[in-house]
Amino acid sequence: MTIFEKIIAREIPSTIVFEDEEFIAFRDINPKAPVHVLCVPKRVSSRLDEIVDVVDLGRLMATAIRVARESLHLRDYRLAVNVGAGAGQIVFHTHVHILGGWTDESAEAHHDEMASRDG
């Protein structure tokens, strides 16, 4: 059982910002941005590429956008998905990172850092 399954089952605490029948979104315990939330399907899949139904993929992304806009009140934000350990995936339960909350100055520094990583 992954840590996300334990959060869904309420076996461990988290700060939940959104929940419906299919998805849960909660604050990341190791944030990489002023606002860092994970949008997680309740149905388990280890990696994004295991979700073969395009409707399910669309619902995941639509829910992440809804959380960013309606629950977190973000106008500018980033959605990120790490697929596999080589891409930085740590918890093997599909999830979308919602990152935002930067000021103009901190956003510029963040973008410079990301550009230097991307080469």
pLDDT for res 116: 60
CATH code for position 40? 3.30.428.10
Per the annotation, the verdict on 95 as an active-site residue is yes
Beta strands in 1-114 (DSSP E): 16-19, 23-27, 35-41, 77-80, 96-100
Distance CA 110, CA 54 (A): 32
Where in the sequence is the domain holding 91, given as residue range(s)? 3-118
pLDDT for res 105: 52
User: Which stretches of the chain drop beneath a pLDDT of 70?
Assistant: 104-119
pLDDT for res 55: 96
User: In this structure, what DSSP letter does residue 85 have?
Assistant: G
Tally of domains within the chain: 1
Active-site hit among 36, 73, 93, 95: 95
Please give the model's pTM, rounded to 2 decimal places.
0.87
Q: pLDDT tens digits, residue range 38-54? A: 999 999 999 999 999 99
